[in-house]
Amino acid sequence: MSSSVAPIPDEQNGATPAFSPLYQQIKGLILQSLQQGQWKPGEVIPSETELAARFRVSQGTVRKAIDELAAENLVMRRQGKGTFVATHATPQVQYRFLKLLPDTGNDRIAGPAQRRVIECRRVRASADVARALALRSTDAVVQARRILSFAGVPTILEDIWLPGQAFKGLSAEQLANYPGPTYAMFELDFGVRMVRAEEKIRAVLPDAQQAQWLQIGAGTPLLSVERIAYTYNDMPMELRRGLYRTENHHYRNALN
Amino acid sequence: MSSSVAPIPDEQNGATPAFSPLYQQIKGLILQSLQQGQWKPGEVIPSETELAARFRVSQGTVRKAIDELAAENLVMRRQGKGTFVATHATPQVQYRFLKLLPDTGNDRIAGPAQRRVIECRRVRASADVARALALRSTDAVVQARRILSFAGVPTILEDIWLPGQAFKGLSAEQLANYPGPTYAMFELDFGVRMVRAEEKIRAVLPDAQQAQWLQIGAGTPLLSVERIAYTYNDMPMELRRGLYRTENHHYRNALN
DNA sequence: GAGTGGTCTAGACCACGCG
DNA sequence: GCGTGGTCTAGACCACTCA
């Protein structure tokens, strides 16, 4: 079928313009719908046959597009039911960005912790925060600081910066008491879905205040984890600086 | 086609035995050939059509099998040339298990470091080493310790344990002077290909000796990185304990 | 131009979930 | 029993590599 999916002519192009396979174009279109919130996190997207008809391509082509989206965790397939927009609320992938695990315990997550929010306010972005979030230095950001405790032991101290624009009205209450992953709360209350993240990890010593918050000695080494989380389109939407106690936990990473 | 790929009957099975799709079986067969070293790292494997004929399935089915192997980095496809057994010697994926990067510098690797081997000898496996490598406590292991320096600065101190059986004759000289990734040397000289790895990361303080080797003060926090590397079949083949200086480097991790 | 992987199609049938 | 994703096939054509 010589189809015609809007943007790229795809055939008879004078200048060999990089050549984008059909399924990539379809993927782009689906991605667009996801970005625009046409289908919300947790909802089904149209079936493969439906999409194939809509885009006037074969089901196999749509399939390959969705395969890639699934591989990137943007979408989840469930046989017999349909394909769903991925969400951090899904039990199986809750806290998938949290790599800190207890040393003991077969596996599975440090999970829902006790959260104590120390502060949460609107401020102007400092230079480095602005750079990380691709904002101007004068833009407003929400800055929060909280402590996560596991089994009563304060284990993570983290500072969070979010673009003020998208997170108007975020409260300490939400950060502390939302039942479930914070990223799920972001999806539900602000329509912001974190899609991937990058972390830079270092070993550091706490300053006096940090040591107090984490109830440790000044000489206790900590993991410093700086995370930038991205929404669709590689847009940075969160900067997070965490200090992790690792006497009884470790950061687990799988290399493939 | 009602094909017959050796092991699983695949059809008319009385007891609904988990059901393994054809392409998974094909994948298993290819995997077996890889394990047995029928095709060596860096070599081409037979073409898709050739494999399809050999296994009496369609090319699409072979394709899907190889797709998965490629996704797991066991194999590398190159259009127009063929499909190649992955190797740590490939420039683009060299040092892909080394996640420590310099803070400055656009990206790219800490790369080929200066390596100084402090020791390399055969010993009996201690209890924890034996457990990590799935050996008996009495089995021989090769134990090595070395320092990696970047731009003259000693940055990584690492202890390595390898099953004595598979690594008979490994010398300090090889560990120090092999031009290229150590894992490439393992492939070439011992026929052992590391396929994936898991790391547990903590923040620690060095003891006196470690501080001396890394030329740092006793209070300098370090990243402790414990890695278990696996060959085919999830067989653990290396235990590595690294201490990373992170004043000017960081451990980078991508979360998807 | 021959050979390899990459894309695309159309159609058949299977496994799963649910009413 | 129907609709969904999952598997499998066969065949056509495209893009890349190399002799």
pLDDT per residue over B52-62, tens digit each? 999 999 999 99
- The string of pLDDT tens digits covering residues B208-237 is 999 999 999 999 999 999 999 999 999 999
Q: Residue A1's pLDDT is what?
A: 36
CA A152 to C1' D15 (Å) is 60
- Which residues of chain A are in CATH 3.40.1410.10 domains? 100-251
| pTM over 0.75, yes/no | yes
- Give whichever of A9-18, B3-12, B123-132 has the largest mean pLDDT: B123-132
The pLDDT confidence band at residue B181, using thresholds 50, 70 and 90, is very high
Q: Residue A90's pLDDT is what?
A: 94
Q: Residue A19's pLDDT is what?
A: 80
Contact B202 A246 (CB under 8 A): yes
pLDDT greater than 50 at residue B2: no
- The string of pLDDT tens digits covering residues B95-119 is 999 999 999 875 556 567 899 999 9
Q: Residue A101's pLDDT is what?
A: 94
Contact B221 A244 (CB under 8 A): no
| The 3-state secondary structure of chain A, one letter per residue | CCCCCCCCCCCCCCCCCCCCCHHHHHHHHHHHHHHCCCCCCCCEECCHHHHHHHHCCCHHHHHHHHHHHHHCCCEEEECCCEEEECCCCCHHHCCCCCCEEECCCCCCCCCCCEEEEEEEEEEECCHHHHHHHCCCCCCEEEEEEEEEEECCEEEEEEEEEEECCCCCCCCHHHHHHCCCCHHHHHHHHHCCCCCEEEEEEEEECCCHHHHHHHCCCCCCCEEEEEEEEECHHHCEEEEEEEEECCCCEEEEEEEC
CATH 3.40.1410.10 fits B100-251, yes or no: yes
Q: Residue A106's pLDDT is what?
A: 58
- Which residues of chain A are in CATH 1.10.10.10 domains? 22-85
- The string of pLDDT tens digits covering residues A108-160 is 565 678 999 999 999 999 999 999 999 999 999 999 999 999 999 999 999 99
Verify if strand C has an atom below 7 Å from the CB of B82: yes
Name the residue closest to the C1' of C14 by its CA.
B21
- Contact residues on chain A for B72, CB-CB shorter than 8 A: 256
Contact B253 A201 (CB under 8 A): yes
What would the mean pLDDT of A87-112 be, rounded to a whole number?
84
**Structure tokens of A83?**
């394909």
pLDDT greater than 90 at residue B154: yes
Of B72, B97, B201, the CB nearest to A251: B201
The pLDDT confidence band at residue A5, using thresholds 50, 70 and 90, is very low
The pLDDT confidence band at residue A235, using thresholds 50, 70 and 90, is very high
Q: Residue B239's pLDDT is what?
A: 98
Separation CA A16–CA A231 (nearest Å): 31
**Contact criterion met (CB below 8 Å) for A114 and A148:** yes
What would the mean pLDDT of A192-200 be, rounded to a whole number?
97
What's domain A22-85's architecture?
Orthogonal Bundle (1.10)
Q: Residue A113's pLDDT is what?
A: 83
Q: Residue A112's pLDDT is what?
A: 75
